[in-house]
Structure 1
Amino acid sequence: MRTTQRRKIEPARVIIGAVLLLVGLICLLPLIHIVAMSMSSSTAISTDTILLWPKDFTLAAYKYSLSGGGFVNALLVSVERTILSCTLTLLLNVLAAYPLSRSKEEFPARTFYSWMYVITMFVSGGLVPTYMVIYETGLMNTIWALVLPGCASAFNALLILNFFRSLPKELGEAAAIDGAGHWRTLFSIYVPLSVTILATTTLFNFVGAWNAWFDGMIYMNDSANYPLQTYLQSLVVDTNTYFLYSGSIENIEMLNDSNIKAAQVVLTSIPIIALYPFLQKYFTKGITVGSVKG
């Protein structure tokens, strides 16, 4: 007869599990509170304390936010900015990482250019010179003022560089014997084998571009061109923006600045929350391999 053995529960595992659960709750509770706030009426928010469950349930704040106006326009600007930033940054980082991953015999200046990348991670040109470049090139108040300054990411390029160096050099040698040039080798061999690190850097770029707000404030003279985060930041400064244009009795009864802001914060967070589970399997492996191997 087979005897079943009970798995012994180690105290260390219990402690680690409890700590992780506590940290998870600490991270999750503020989000639940914001969701509850966004689904509560203005009367409930004014008279009661909203914690983790909505009171006087209503979706009026979401309907108002998605009905048009500044929020939808800012959302479209952020979507355009994020798509352009992720695409251009990934392309430029791959094109920079490939030659730097070659041997010194193939690319003697490899060390010099690698150090040039590393230096920019510690010493930047500064805000004023960057602003002057944007202004003098006529990019002010355009989407490219939000996209181009962040396209050359030294950190992401170095991650991809180290990942390329971890690939067997025999792959490139075999491709060269078959008559493949550098472009064919890069896009037919290196890129398909680097999905892990490319997905990781794309996640970094997506989060950075989606959450950026300061550049929109200094490069955009017209509030109609604000990205989403800059738009939300402006609402924190001016809490009565909505009601300057709202004469609806429903808005007065069901909405105030608190539940509208909460609803828009929730809507802003949805893309990040939706994207991360699909890229999570690449994230840990990609950041580990890309930063350690080389």
Structure 2
Amino acid sequence: MKIWFITGASRGFGALITAQALAKGDAVVATARNSKAITERFGEHPNLLPVTLDVTSQEQATAAAKTAIERFGRIDVLLNNAGFGLMGAVEEASPAEIEAVYKTNVFGLLNVTRAILPFMRQVRSGRILNISSIGGYRGAAGFGVYSSTKFAVEGLSEALHDELAPLGIHVTVVEPGYFRTDFLDASSLTSSSHIIADYEATAGKVRTLATSLSHNQPGDPNKLAQVLIDFADAPHPPVRLPLGSDTVSAIEDKHRKDAAILAEWRAISVSTDFITR
């Protein structure tokens, strides 16, 4: 039996993975801003520990980790899932909007990870799954600020992977594409209130497309949940796990474009080194 610690567990991927983990016989420390939302969704279960956690609070993260250890004795899998999106051109985003998305998506992930790592290091075991996005691998108009938070998650995850591998702790950044959840709804995706007409053909177009795509996304969230449940047993997990055909296509396209940049600009790129004689 594995012990999962899942943030943002009351809905979306977090709720689906919580349900499948419990069905498998694992135990779950399921966290949300209001633990009543966990109880309302899953009811009473001997392997479920609902915990109130605002990931932006280091104090709450530390308390939640301690509560989990007191109940189950260990944490085998940390799933950093809590987060939300911000849609709009970079210039349209207000300082308050930018700060809010960073506090949850980046600093929240750091708060929870730093609270749980001492317990994983003590036993030289554990897995950390950090939910990123297709937007964490390539930026796109209309999602610049959100993508920048997920780029941060990618960088943190790669560094953590190298730092923790010698200690028996595996870290993987998960990169979902567009899955049929409520991510494009107002409950998970905020839109900058300030609109600049000059961005109508770029960020403005994305706003329209997001509305039409909501609940018509190509990815099946139940399949993603099952993949991650099974992935927790993978003997040699990779540093990143792309999920969704759209993510795979986006990564392949970026690789082609980056290869073209290197081919065209290689002479300039390498010309900046000191010349050794």
Task: Name the TM-score, length of structure 1 as normaliser.
Answer: 0.23
The structure with higher relative contact order (CA 8 Å, sep 6+) is 1
Query: Higher strand share goes to which structure?
Result: 2
Larger radius of gyration: 1
Query: Higher helix share goes to which structure?
Result: 1
Task: Name the TM-score, length of structure 2 as normaliser.
Answer: 0.24
